[in-house]
């Protein structure tokens, strides 16, 4: 293909067209704010999709990265990495988990969880179990295994044949859940809030019943905390809201304040399933990545980021309900902590686009839900500003619709 044809096929870019990008090039970030290459300023209520949980370029993390960049970047996991040990200890000291596996992404973390569950059942328990149960409208990643685990058909189109050993359950259907668990079931994987599926919180009673059922039937319980973890819902990990201790849980997104890193954590009895050589990741837990993790966790704890997310989240939801009350386009406002969804009566892409024009960045969660993901240290003044912009957008769009 000629250079001219290449440019025509891909809009002049050398990148694969895998992303429907917004017409903005962001070049600088600080706290709750971003600037584009034209000098325009934006209040960031999407945080790179729940990644920059401490805001953009938090100083403690920036300082830790600068120090590590001046010392050592990469050595491989054939050597002991002090930062990795320290970051893992912070995670286990602040959870019920006993062992941590570091990787580079959330999808990798979920892959590791799936592999650990199967290997534990087959190599340690010796029962041959392999099936992973997940839920309709769930989202677990883009690798072949994790998109197969995802309960949304749209992410699977064109990737057949998919790996075997995954089954799907309608969320909140207790009878379907109990019937789905068989002597082939290795684990059940669930999100406490289906963030990509519409910001849909799972009923606490259902989660507790699931945990009880898994324990009774020898099935491992995996919580996908990729988006809900790291303080986002008002606890360091969202399962803390329910008094549940999953056998395995996964983290990424907010774990490294924007540095790419993921982690899979598990109870101690599962550790022997991942013996030397059974799993690995070249870039998992590098000195740089775990410097970011260590500084991120230490800052979250010292700033009580999770507690602040709980308080600010309540304020955000109350203000949204007050300012959007009576708007016929708004159907529901839901979520937990600073993972909030505004469910609407129709497509919300115009809300996102108009927000960008007025200096507010938000994101969708499906076609009819506006998702709000501010950083956990966002101020009330910034919340007020975001709510004011959203209220004006909804009022203007509703008025325009009524005129037509």
Instruction: Give 293's pLDDT tier (boundaries 50, 70, 90).
Output: very high
Domain count, the chain: 2
**Which tokens go with 376?**
């956990």
Whether 375 and 283 share a structural domain: no
Residues 109 and 237 in one domain: yes
* Residue 43 structural domain: 3-57+305-403
Tokens of residue 180, six digits? 């789905």
Residues 208 and 265 in one domain: yes
Beta strands 41-44 and 360-361 are parallel
Across 80-98, average pLDDT: 98
Last residue of a domain, one of 278, 303, 328: 303
Binned at pLDDT 50, 70 and 90, residue 10 comes out as low
Q: Is residue 44 part of a domain?
A: yes
- pLDDT band (50, 70, 90) for residue 402: confident
The reply to whether 63 falls in a domain is no
End-of-domain residue from the set 303, 336, 356? 303
Query: What are the pLDDT digits (tens) for 317-373?
Result: 999 999 999 999 999 999 999 999 999 999 999 999 999 999 999 999 999 999 999
Residue 5: its pLDDT value, please?
Answer: 47
Cα–Cα dist 346/367, whole Å: 8
DSSP state at residue 7: H
Minimal CA–CA distance to 274: which of 89, 92, 80, 112?
A: 112
* 296 and 311 together in one domain: no
CB environment 291-310: b (16+ within 10 A), e (fewer): bbbbbbbbbbeebebbebbb
What span, in angstroms and rounded, lies between the C-alpha atoms of 218 and 215? Answer: 5
Q: What is the mean pLDDT of residues 73-78?
A: 97
Determine, yes or no, domain membership for 7.
yes
The reply to whether 256 and 315 lie within a common domain is: no
Together in a domain, 154 and 183 = yes
Q: Based on the number of CB atoms within 10 Å of its own CB, is 252 exposed (0-12), middle (13-18) or buried (19 or more)?
A: buried
**How confident is the model over 92-96, as a mean pLDDT?**
98
Angle at 262 between CA 291 and CA 307, to 5 degrees: 75
Q: Which of 259, 286, 303 is the last residue of a domain?
A: 303
Question: Do 174 and 222 fall within a single domain?
Answer: yes
**What is the DSSP secondary-structure string of 270-288?**
GGGGS-TTS---TTTT-HH
- What CATH number has the domain bearing residue 204? 3.40.640.10
pLDDT at 39 over 70: yes
User: Would you state the structure tokens that stand for residue 385, as one six-digit string?
Assistant: 């500003």
Structural domain includes residue 377? yes
The answer on 128 and 30 residing in a single domain is no
pLDDT at res. 403: 54
Domain presence at residue 62: no
Please say whether the beta carbons of 289 and 101 come within 8 A: no
Number of other CB atoms surrounding residue 235 within 10 Å: 19
What does residue 133 show for φ and ψ, rounded to 5 degrees? -95, 130
What is the structure's pLDDT at 8?
A: 44
Q: Are 323 and 289 within one domain?
A: no
Do 293 and 317 share a domain, yes or no?
no
Residue 67 covered by a domain: no
Query: pLDDT class for 9, splitting at 50, 70, 90?
Result: low
**Rounded to an integer, what distance in angstroms lies between the CA atom of residue 285 and that of residue 293?**
9
pLDDT in tens, 144-186: 999 999 999 999 999 999 999 999 999 999 999 999 999 999 9
Residue 186 domain-assigned?
A: yes
Report d(CA 325, CA 338) in Å as an integer: 20
CATH of the domain at 348: 3.90.1150.10
The pLDDT > 70 percentage for the chain reads 97
- Residue 400 reports pLDDT greater than 50: yes
User: Tens of pLDDT along 11-28?
Assistant: 688 999 999 999 999 999
Answer whether residue 392 shows pLDDT above 90. yes
> Is residue 1 scored above 60 in pLDDT?
no
Q: Which two tokens stand for residue 395?
A: 């009022």
Instruction: Count CA within 13 A, CB hemisphere, residue 239.
Output: 25
Per-residue pLDDT for 251 more than 80? yes
d(CA 15, CA 36): 20
Cα 193 to its chain centre, rounded Å, is 10
User: Would 315 be classed as within a structural domain?
Assistant: yes
Q: Would you say residue 252 has pLDDT above 60?
A: yes
Cβ(339)–Cβ(233) below 8 Å: yes
Alpha-carbon span 61 to 381, nearest angstrom:
24
Phi-psi region of 243 (alpha: psi -120 to 50; beta: other; left: phi over 0): left
Same-domain status, 109 and 164: yes
Please, which pLDDT band fits residue 399 given cuts at 50, 70 and 90? confident
Kindly state the tokens that stand for 192.
């406490």
Tell me, what's the pLDDT at 69? 98
Residues annotated as catalytic (active site), given as ranges: 139, 224, 253
Let me know whether 263 and 145 are in one domain.
yes
CB 62 within 8 A of CB 70: no
Those residues whose C-beta lies under 8 Å from the C-beta of residue 161, and which sit 6 or more positions away, are none
pTM, 2 dp = 0.95
Alpha helices in 274-379 (DSSP H): 287-303, 305-324, 349-357
Is residue 281 within 8 Å of residue 102, measured between CB atoms? Answer: yes
Average pLDDT, the chain: 95
Read off the tokens for 399. Answer: 């008025």
């Amino acid at each position: 293909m000629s250079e001219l044809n290449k440019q025509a096929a891909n809009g002049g870019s050398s990148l694969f067209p895998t992303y429907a990008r917004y017409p903005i090039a962001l070049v600088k970030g600080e706290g709750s704010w971003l600037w584009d290459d034209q000098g325009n300023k934006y209040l960031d209520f999407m945080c790179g999709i729940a990644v920059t949980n401490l805001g953009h370029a938090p100083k403690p993390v920036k300082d830790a990265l600068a120090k590590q960049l001046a010392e050592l970047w990469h050595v491989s996991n054939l050597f002991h990495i002090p930062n990795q040990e320290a970051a893992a200890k912070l995670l286990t000291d602040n959870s019920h988990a006993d062992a941590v596996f570091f990787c580079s992404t959330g999808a990798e973390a979920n892959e590791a969880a799936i592999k650990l569950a199967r290997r534990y059942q087959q190599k340690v328990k010796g029962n041959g179990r392999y099936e992973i149960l997940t839920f309709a409208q769930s989202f677990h990643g883009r690798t072949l295994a994790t998109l197969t685990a995802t309960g949304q058909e749209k992410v699977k189109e064109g990737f057949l044949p998919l790996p075997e050993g995954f089954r799907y359950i309608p969320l909140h259907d207790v009878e379907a859940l109990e019937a789905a668990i068989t002597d082939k079931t290795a684990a059940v994987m669930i999100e406490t809030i289906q963030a990509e599926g519409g910001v849909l919180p799972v009923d606490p009673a259902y989660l507790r019943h699931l945990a009880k059922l898994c324990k009774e039937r020898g099935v491992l319980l995996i919580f996908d905390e990729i988006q809900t973890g790291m303080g986002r819902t008002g606890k360091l990990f969202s399962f803390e809201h329910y008094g549940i201790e999953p056998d395995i849980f996964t983290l990424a997104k907010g774990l490294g304040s924007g540095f790419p890193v993921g982690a899979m954590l598990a109870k101690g009895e599962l550790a022997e399933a991942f013996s030397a050589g059974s799993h690995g990741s070249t870039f998992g837990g590098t000195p740089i990545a775990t410097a970011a993790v260590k500084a991120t966790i230490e800052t979250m704890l010292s700033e009580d980021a999770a507690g602040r997310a709980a308080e600010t989240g309540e304020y955000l939801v109350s203000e949204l309900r007050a300012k959007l009350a009576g708007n016929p386009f708004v159907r529901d406002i839901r979520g937990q902590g600073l993972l909030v969804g505004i469910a609407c009566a129709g497509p919300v892409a115009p809300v996102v686009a108009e927000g960008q024009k007025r200096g507010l960045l938000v994101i969708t969660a499906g076609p009819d839900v506006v998702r709000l993901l501010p950083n956990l240290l966002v101020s009330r003044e910034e919340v007020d500003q975001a709510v004011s912009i959203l209220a004006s957008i909804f009022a203007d769009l509703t008025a325009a619709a009524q005129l037509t």
